[in-house]
Structure 1
Amino acid sequence: METKSHNNPQDRPTSSSDGRTWDDNRLLMEAVRKEDMEQVRQLLERGADVNFQEEKGGWSPLHNAVQIDSEDMVHLLLRYGADPCLRKRNGATPFIMAGIVGNERLLELFLSKGADVNEYDLHGFTAFMEAAVYGHIQALRYLFEKGAEVNLGRKTMKDQQRLKKGGATALMDAAKNGKVDVVKVLLDEMGADVKARDNMGRNALIHALANADDSNAMAITRLLLHHGADVNVRGEKGKTPLILAVEKKRLGLVQMLLEQKHIEINDTDREGKTALLYAVELNLTEIAELLCDQGASTDCGDLVMFARRNYNKTLVKLLLRHGAREDYHPPAKDWEPRSSRWGQALKQLHGMYRPMVGRLKVFRDDEYKIADTSEGGIYLGFYDEQEVAVKRFSEDSSRGEKEVSCLQSIRGNSNLVTFYGSESHRGCLYVCISLCEQTLEKHLAEHREEAVDNGEEEFARNILLSIFKAVVELHGSCGYTHQDLQPQNILIDSKKAVRVADFDQSTKWAGDPEQIKSDLEALGRLVLYVVSKGNIPFETLKTQSNEEVIKFSPNEEIQNLIQHLFCPGENVKNILVDLLDHPFFWSCESRYRVLRDVGNESDIKMRKPSIFQHLQPGPSKTSRSFDQWTSKIDICVMNQMSNFYNKKPHLKYEDTVGDLLRFIRNLGEHINEEKNKWMKLKIQDPSRYLQEKFPDLVIYIYTKLQNTEYAKHFPKTHSAQKPQCDRGDGGQHPSRL
């Protein structure tokens, strides 16, 4: 942990009104550097500032004393009040500098004065890291005994973190600086993590091979490989250790790397170049021959052309013997991707050489990564030349097995992601699915301010209808439950179609209703998430009880839909099939048509008690929009419509639901007549006018009449085919359960 900053040089005066004091401070610094103990003592006695810091760099007398490794000078300055935790402008303390010079006694002294063994400067360097950089093994061992963190990654400033700087460990520092003995001690004695990576994803092997002075590269590489370093990791520009070894023109290094069991000999950097292509470009015949003999692909560029340009007949013959082509043609540059979101990256991937994994072309690099996952990430790829998203698992992953099993069962279902195929290679399973543009979460964020008025209802209805249909297909024809329905697992493709994805937690339905209930409850929360356009975070909804979620419902219609999802009764298996015909999914026109058709029933026209009893509101403290409805209609329109019954006063409109339905029917019949043009101009579209006036009327009619003969007027436009299985509930509607 970083110690408290002491006397930052930016906060201290660098000059004094007393000219002699200023001169004495300058003389003090010079005397320390010269190790003139007597002059230092005299100057301090005369009033020189023992904690004076130079403007440039923030050096103090104590920092200088540590730099020249003078223990006597350090003790003298401390006796005169030198701050043992004072920091230079770069944040370095005397303790950290003691790690640079490797003086164990000074390290012990500063620890006794309050230094933290893991304190770091502004660039993230600790005393332990500095000792590793400069090769001070005994100091390294001392710090390790005192609790220094061996695998601490370099912590740096935020602006550097944004550039992916930092994260390097002492092992990486020692490897980069060619300190063979330090690397050995760190690995053998201190358990340094050879698999650790810095913020750019580089491990110690990359650091060792990136060092310009490669005199010790062979020995360090051998140590790192012996301890299990990843031989396929990537450095700057996506270069692998094998490519870096070729660039160093070190045949022995190349040979050593090729002896590793899991070496990816045909892997490329971000320019699409393989180790063999680099060897040919650099005219390295021996290395090229070694690579070819080990199975490197010659279909990675115009190798023969490069060899001929170098007038290397031997290399030309070697390449031709291993299958290189004289007429090599790179991928067409005029190829255009279908995806707009991933277009640029897809063009780069399409135009570069990549070794094929079966029928799959993929590059596991951050530049082509779509998303992180718990087991390996999702990448852009091409499967049989088709743009795909590639989900990576370990080959023995149970999640990967579930994903493939479920995907194989859902082929041909339009509301689920398309499954193209899978490939296995060197311990990895690659699952290829349709490439989509964004998640539901991002889609809602982009459209949060766009849709207004009734457009909002249609926006939410279209999204949720696709999700419901997808889950119906999953439960029914596929026989699976999803078990992880959430916004991140619902995708939007290039045609704005909604696709349900991510089946690595899915399970084959074995008759346990709790499996399906889990999906239904997640759907209930998704309903609220979508209608709120993501303003109520899904993570928040997951922490709420079902009762609390229902209370969030913005209206009675959505509340009714969510209640059915949370309380499906015995109709668990097919509840979603029935809910596809819920009023929430009715269009504005369908709603209006239902109200008119019910209002056209002879029982309504004749005010028969049977239907009026069904429509009669029960005792409720909650007021409804259609209470006293006659007073809420435009008065001129109301008068005109009432005039039809001047000769039949017993049929005049009253404030009942039945009469409101009769009014809606009559309005629809007469509003387009020539004599009623003025009425059309006044209320515009009658369907929107009436639904804006009485927003809870449709759901009220639905709940009152759904178990009656009048339910025949409800649309069945969205119903999916029910799965072929025994329902056990007699095929009842959800409301009857």
Structure 2
Amino acid sequence: MQSNSPSQAGACSNDREKHLLFNAVLREDMEQVQSLLETGACVNAQEEEGGWAPLHAAVQNCREDLVSLLLEHGADPLLRKRNGATPFIIAGIMGHVGLLELFLSKGARVDECDHNGFTALMEAAMYGHEAAARFLHANGAEVNLRQPARKEQARLRKGGATALMRAAEYGHPAVVKALLELGAEVNIRDNCGRNALIYALWNSREKSAEAVARLLLAHGVDVRVRCERHKTPLMLALERRHEDVARLLLEQEQLDVDATDRELSTALQVAVQLGLNDAAQRLCLRGASTDCGDLVMMARRSYNRALVQLLRQHGARDHLQAPATPWKVQSPRWGRALMHLRDTYRPMLGRLKIFIDPEYKVADTSEGGVYLGFYEGQEVAVKRFHEGSEPGQKELACLQKHRQQGHLLTLYGCEKHSGCLFVCLALCERNLEEQLLQGARAAARSKKSSQEDDFAQSVCSSLFEALDKLHRSGCAHQDLQPRNVLIDSKNAVWLADFDKSTDKAGDEEIKTDLKALGLLVLYVAQKGDISWEKLKAKSEEEGKKLCPDEETQDLLQCLFCPGDKPQGLLPELLGHPFFWSSEKRYRALRDVGNESDIKTPNSNGKLVQILNTDPAGHSRDFTQWTSKIDGNIMKKMNNFYERKGRSGYQDNVTDLLKFIRNIGEHISEKKNKSMKSIMGEPSQYFQEKFPSLFLYVYQRLKNTDYAHHFQKNSPASLCGHGMERTVGSQMECGELS
């Protein structure tokens, strides 16, 4: 039975005997090994650090006689070290054909691997053992087997190497030649996209790298493959100063001599930076473009006059310092970096100037990041994708479909270069998450709080309009979150990041957007105090408890439960009380209080009947409202009616509205100066005393003949398609998340 870890090894009651046997094998002391085994030493005991057992050490020493003796006394031929290596794999490392054959006869599998995915063939190739490699192949080893990777390694794009790659990496031309003869595929790539040629160029020994590269090129290896940072084999050869390999590569017809890496550097730039004059000359003769940066200045910095002259002969220009042209940076946050970029020479990618460098990075993305740039002289944020990227194509298609539409981030254009797609967008200062964090810091410094949250209303109304534009065109965003909401230098709000969007939006996709929009409303209302991830995990009831007021709670209800016809809801919701200022709410309540049925009391009037019939369960902070008004003010207002022999104000909604109307009409009169000093600004006073009053009146009247009081500031009809849509707390919903 195969042991998988040191903990599964045979227990040894005598630690001293265990160490004695292991040390005797290390010393290759056959006589003492024999004696210890005969006295009962634990043959399968493993040391703690690496899980080595006596059999592993005997194989490493290439002692067939010791191996046979240990096996005769019960040594497990399949016992694994802590890293998963078996005696068979160690025999591959040592290149010992006799031991490989022995362990195959004892049950070893020819392609078994350790915990890192290495097989005996891979190890034999890595250590340069040609005979062992040929033996293993003759006994069934898969020559093109790729090194498997554990889950965490695969996420880092580790693994996938073959025996050929390992032989190339460690500079063993004889093994490379043998593996190619045995059918090794020269263009297999590992999980990071590298082939055997890239592995060969990692070798620091130039002569072995050249010999391996020559073999691989003879078998048609792809010279256009890329490694880390998108570098080509030619760039890698030059960086490692393998000039003979570079010469071989320049003889290949399919070579793209002007290919660029992630920093948009070419092979010629690498050669000039390193002062490789011969390589630079060969590149120029092969037709490499000299318009790829300030090459002459690079050569000047190293005082390389010969290289300066060579570059000039092949058309390189002296980029002399030009007088600065008038230009005013637009972005306060990115201004310094933009000025530096503007003054730095970079080859244009069509109409785009960009430098892939950390100094100019705006944000990380799942693909190529966002960088500062200039598109036709305009400051832009450049989102980079692989040219065939599906998210990139989605982003570009959605932006092109909605050019210059309100509150959807502006697309200026795009460029393609060296396998990358550069999407040029309006440059913003920060995202919503950063904006709220900055606002919280400013509020903490000033120690001020505002009853009005103009910012929250501005952000939310902008998002409502942007999302409505998308939905009306048949698209849905599908990734609404604070980091995808951007704020520009003029504090305008823009919806961005359409790489998960769909242009086939049905009711379910729209509902997904609306629910996410509701969460964004809550996030803004909470000023970002609760993280987005925690907010998404809240249930509907938990979310309601987080709402700072009833208007926010009701708006969330509308978004979470849009009914059977979610299309077209957003313009209607722009008239929701959430978007009304205290002053506008106060003005609307005064106007309702000025209706004849209220101003001249008519207990049988339609309006009075609607407002004084309170729906069960509604929160009523205006119940017994007369007791909540300052006593002196209430007394003075009641005196007016009592002098006329009429009863004063009663504890009902219509009398409260009449009171608000009368206060609004007379509060500024000179005789009411003392009342004004007590009350202050009426709009704030009534908002603080009766925060749920406006929503109550709004909900009671929105679908009646009196709805016109709430349509003055709305771009569309209020929440509902006529009488069909019911918005409010009576609708049943599920989870926020």
- State TM-score, norm by structure 2: 0.76
Q: Secondary structure at the match of 1:464?
A: helix
CA contact (8 A) 1:197 1:204 kept: no
Superposed, 1:527-538 pairs within 5 Å as: 527-532=518-523, 535=530
CA contact (8 A) 1:301 1:328 kept: no
Of the three residues 57, 63, 70, the one matched with 1:70 is 63
Match for residue 600 of structure 1? 594
2:486 to 475, 484, 492: 492
CA–CA distance in structure 2, aligned partners of residues 33 and 663 of structure 1: 101
Q: 1:439–1:490: 8 Å Cα contact kept in structure 2?
A: yes
1:253 to 220, 224, 246: 246
1:669, distance to aligned residue in structure 2 (A): 4.7
CA contact (8 A) 1:529 1:536 kept: no
User: 2: distance between equivalents of 1:110 and 1:148?
Assistant: 25
2:576 pairs with one of 572, 582, 589: 582
CA distance in 2: counterparts of 1:62 and 1:463, whole angstroms: 71
Residues 362-415 of structure 1, C-alpha deviations (whole Å, 9 max, x = no match): 4668995844458x6655543234443334556677765664454345333351
Q: What's 1:522 paired with?
A: 513
Deviation at 1:423, TM superposition (A): 2.0
- C-alpha distance in structure 2 between counterparts of 1:204 and 1:443, whole Å: 48
Preserved contact between residue 383 and residue 432 of structure 1 (Cα < 8 Å): yes
**C-alpha offsets along residues 164-200 of structure 1, whole Å, 9 cap, x if unaligned?**
79657346533321245666748985769734345xx
Q: Look up the match of 2:734.
A: none
For 2:609, the aligned partner's letter is Q
Residues 1:655 and 1:306: Cα distance change in structure 2 (over 3 Å): closer
Question: Residues of 1 paired with 2:570 and 2:559: CA distance?
Answer: 8
User: CA separation in 1, counterparts of 2:571 and 2:6?
Assistant: 69
Determine the structure 2 residue equivalent to 1:358. Answer: 350
AA paired with 1:411? R
Where 2:310 maps in the other structure, the secondary structure is helix
Shift of 1:704: 2.0
2-side partners of 1:195 and 1:734: how far apart?
60
Contact 2:6 2:51 in 1 (8 A): no
Q: How far off is 1:94 after superposition?
A: 4.5
Q: 1:713 aligns with which of 684, 687, 709?
A: 709
Query: For residues 50-104 of structure 1, what are the alpha-carbon distances to aligned partners after superposition, in whole Å with 9 as ceiling and x for unaligned?
Result: 5677798775533321211234423433555657677778776645534422453
Partner of 1:561: 555
Verify the 8 A CA contact 1:440 1:491 in the aligned structure 2: yes
What letter matches 2:317 in structure 1? R
Q: Which amino acid is 1:6 matched to? A: P
2:392–2:421 CA contact under 8 A, matched in 1: yes
- The verdict on how the C-alpha distance between 1:618 and 1:316 changes in structure 2, with shifts beyond 3 A counting, is closer
Alignment partners' CA distance in 1, 2:638 and 2:180? 95
Instruction: List per-residue Cα deviations over 1:511-533 (Å, max 9, x = no partner).
Output: xxx64774355124312343145
Contact 1:393 1:429 in 2 (8 A): yes
Amino acid in the other structure paired with 2:696: Y
For 1:528, the aligned partner's letter is L
Q: Secondary structure at the match of 2:317?
A: coil
Query: What is the CA distance between 1:340 and its match in structure 2?
Result: 7.6
Q: Which amino acid aligns with 2:146?
A: V
| In 1: Cα distance, 2:423 partner to 2:591 partner | 51
> Is residue 526–residue 538 contact of structure 1 (8 Å, CA) maintained in 2?
no
Question: Residues 542 and 311 from structure 1, CA distance in 2 versus in 1: closer, same or farther, beyond 3 angstroms?
Answer: closer
Moved more, 175-184 or 85-94: 85-94
CA contact (8 A) 2:329 2:338 kept: yes
Matched, 1:461 2:461: no
Q: Structure 1 stretch 690-699 or stretch 223-232: which is displaced more?
A: 223-232
Identity across the alignment (%): 45
Out of 274, 282, 296, the position equivalent to 1:290 is 282
SS at match of 1:703: helix
| Equivalent in 261, 268, 277 of residue 276 of structure 1 | 268
Q: Structure 1 residues 639 and 62 mapped into 2: Cα distance closer, same or farther (>3 Å)?
A: farther
Aligned match of 2:256:
263
Q: 1:33 to 1:230 in 2, by over 3 A?
A: same
**In 1, are the aligned partners of 2:206 and 2:242 still within 8 Å (CA)?**
no
Q: Secondary structure at the match of 1:215?
A: helix
| Correspondence 1:192-341 to 2 at 5 A | 194-198=188-192, 204-218=196-210, 220-221=212-213, 231=224, 233-235=226-228, 240-247=232-239, 248-254=241-247, 256=249, 259=252, 261=254, 263=256, 265=258, 267=260, 274-304=266-296, 315-329=307-321
Q: Secondary structure in 2 aligned to 1:212?
A: coil
Counterpart in 2 of 1:726? none
Task: Give the match for residue 134 of structure 1.
Answer: 127
Secondary structure at the aligned position of 2:6 is classed as coil
The alpha carbon displacement at 1:499 in A equals 1.3
Say how many residue pairs are matched: 700
Contact 2:55 2:75 in 1 (8 A): yes
Partner residue in 2 for 1:97: 90
* Cα distance, 1:227–1:264 mapped onto 2, change above 3 Å: same
663-672 or 694-703, which moves further after superposition? 663-672
The letter of the residue matching 1:176 is E
Q: Does 1:422 align with 2:411?
A: no
CA gap of 1:719–1:625, structure 2 versus 1, over 3 A, is: same
- Residue 498 of structure 1 aligns with an amino acid whose one-letter code is V
SS at match of 2:424: strand
CA shift for structure 1 position 664: 2.5
SS in 1 for 2:90: helix
Paired residue secondary structure (2:207): coil
Q: Residues 643 and 734 (structure 1 numbering): CA distance in 2 closer, same or farther, change over 3 Å?
A: farther
Q: What residue is the counterpart of 2:620 in the other structure?
A: 624
Contact kept in structure 1, 2:257 and 2:287, CA below 8 Å: no
1:725 matched to which residue of 2?
none
1:210-249 deviations in whole A, cap 9, x for unaligned? Answer: 210133434644676777757363447x754322222425
Report the residue type matching 1:323 in the other structure: G
Equivalent position of 1:152 in the other structure: 148
Task: Kindly indicate whether the alpha-carbon contact (under 8 Å) linking 1:460 and 1:531 is maintained by their aligned counterparts in 2.
Answer: no
Query: Using the alignment, how far apart are the partners of 1:152 and 1:414 within structure 2?
Result: 50
Distance change in 2, residues 1:310/1:492 (3 Å): closer
Q: Is the 8 A contact 1:8 1:86 kept in 2?
A: no
- Using structure 1 for the length normalisation, give the TM-score: 0.76
| Alignment match, 2:606 | 610
Structure 2: 5+ residue stretches without partners = 728-737
Matched, 1:177 2:170: yes
Distance 1:192 1:313, change over 3 A: closer
Instruction: Supply the AA of the counterpart residue of 2:493.
Output: V
**Residues 1:646 and 2:642 aligned together:** yes
CA contact (8 A) 2:476 2:513 kept: no
Q: In the superposition, relative to structure 1, how do residues 54 and 576 fare at CA in structure 2: closer, same or farther (>3 Å)?
A: closer
CA distance in 1, matches of 2:522, 2:495: 18
CA gap 1:81/1:664 in 2 versus in 1, 3 angstroms: farther
Q: Decide which of 690, 694, 701 is 1:698's aligned counterpart.
A: 694
